[in-house]
Chains A and B, each alone.
Chain A
Amino acid sequence: MSTIHFSVNGNKQSIDVPPMKRLLDVLREDLHLTGTKEGCGEGECGACAVLLDGELVNSCLVPALQVNGARLCTIEGVSTEGRLHPIQQCFLEKGGAQCGICTPGMILATHHLLDKYPNPTMEQIQEGLAGNLCRCTGYMRIFEAVQEAAKHETAKAGAV
């Protein structure tokens, strides 16, 4: 077992876990943050994406020891005081979420995309979300939601 210190959505955490335990499982099982979903478990689908020191990563491919000292943002840290983040609001209004399994990863990938490209082209949106698979929407409504979110200045505020 290793003791890992890190912050999740602004809260400091110290936990004892096997060092090779997947970050995805640490979040869901040890911290009970079940908003992060498991899809493929091999880095192909992006359902488990979180922000690690501001960078988008697939939490199924990160061993617990490698987040020692890091700053994480999960889907639970995106809304503030019960109010949806503008990105979430745009996904809701544009029909960018259906069954919901891919949505947390899509929201965080969008967050990361708008950090890099505040006014993304369609090509940049498609590449930024290429690692996030959705089996319901056909993607067009997701792209529309991202374009709508890019119009909101507050959608581009840095993550926790």
Chain B
Amino acid sequence: MRSDVSLYDLSAPPSLDAVLTTLANEPGKYSVIAGGTELMVALGVGRLQQHSLLSIQHLRELRFIGVQDDAIHIGAGTTFTDLRRSKAIAADFPLMAQSASWTGSVANQNRGTLGGNICNASPAADTPPALLAYGATLTLVSVSGKRTIPYSEFHLGYKKTALRPDELLHTIIVPRSFTGYRQYIRKVGTRNAQSISKIALAAVARMEGDAIADIRLGAASLTDRPVRCSAAEAALLGQSVGAANIDATVRAARAALATEAKPIDDIRSTAKYRAAVGGNLLEEFLRSLAE
């Protein structure tokens, strides 16, 4: 049933400082709303629990893509359209450009933000696998200062994050250290555009001859939250993808991934399907390395 909008309050504090002060004064009272592509859907179907909301959609200071020598700094309010239009993102982080392009339709990409995609914390979100594979870090701000944490430590459980009630995600920092890495991303859904993924895998690897010298894997819908697949990474480090070894390497990687795959059953897919297809995606990536 649709919500009665007159029961909801929304304000737009004039600055980031004003937003942080409001959050600090009454921690937990507010939900932060940016582009609205998630919370307005919840409002429409009567599932928006929080009745007090703070808009950060107008804060220009959260919408930037800053290229530095060692990293790209992306403001939490950067839209998917901004990401897709960025030459720097396309050149250095093709997996991010790709995942931004299949997040909803053009109209939703014009409103939805990277920070919203992360903080909404859906296990099936499109950009987290790429951010996890690229080893992103997050800067969180509050009136008491700022802290930076690895993105791999941000998701604590189903829709649970390390963000304190008085904090706001400010910047996503992605290190520019993947020159020469082989890169892979694939989303399995009912179709690419619009649909929410059943399972998705992003992967980057540095090869030394046939051997895997470095590998990072990020997955959506493989567990109840977006995850880095550290067991599979450990099983693959130093292994060969040469013709004589590829089958054994694939078997070991699939076995390791199976130990960390704990998918959920929901309307889009089953845990069994997700675990099996997660293994298929990893195998597809590994066999592409052998080519």
A112 to B33, CA, bound (A): 25
Residues of A within 8 A of B2 (CB): 41
Q: Which of A17-54 contact B (CB under 8 A)?
A: 18-22, 25, 41-44, 46, 49
- A120 contacts chain B at the CB level, 8 A cutoff: no
What is the CB-to-nearest-CB distance from A23 to chain B, in angstroms, rounded to a whole number? 10
Contact of B41 among A42, A63, A113 (CB under 8 A): A42
Chain A residue with the shortest CB-CB distance to B109: A131
Q: Are B194 and A44 in contact (CB under 8 A)?
A: yes
Contacts known (A60-B40, A61-B41); A19 close to B10, Cβ less than 8 A: yes
Q: Are A65 and B12 in contact (CB under 8 A)?
A: yes
Q: Are B110 and A66 in contact (CB under 8 A)?
A: no
Main secondary structure of the interface of A (DSSP, over half): mixed
A111 to B279, CA, bound (A): 43
Greatest chain A CB density within 10 A among B44, B106, B194 is at B106
What is the CB-to-nearest-CB distance from B57 to chain A, in angstroms, rounded to a whole number? 5
- B280 contacts chain A at the CB level, 8 A cutoff: no
Residues of B within 8 A of A89 (CB): none
Q: 24 A-B pairs, CB-CB below 8 angstroms?
A: A18-B8, A20-B43, A20-B53, A21-B5, A41-B44, A42-B44, A43-B104, A44-B194, A56-B110, A57-B110, A58-B108, A61-B35, A61-B37, A62-B40, A63-B33, A63-B36, A63-B40, A66-B55, A109-B107, A127-B106, A127-B193, A130-B106, A131-B106, A131-B107
16 additional contacts, CB 8 Å, given A60-B44, A63-B40?
A: A2-B10, A18-B8, A19-B9, A22-B40, A44-B194, A46-B107, A56-B106, A58-B107, A58-B108, A58-B111, A61-B111, A62-B36, A62-B111, A65-B55, A128-B106, A131-B108
By a beta-carbon cutoff of 8 Å, the part of chain B in contact with chain A is 2, 5-6, 8-12, 33, 35-37, 40-41, 43-45, 53, 55, 57-58, 81, 104-108, 110-111, 193-194
By a beta-carbon cutoff of 8 Å, the part of chain A in contact with chain B is 2, 18-22, 25, 41-44, 46, 49, 55-58, 60-63, 65-66, 68, 109, 112-113, 127-128, 130-132
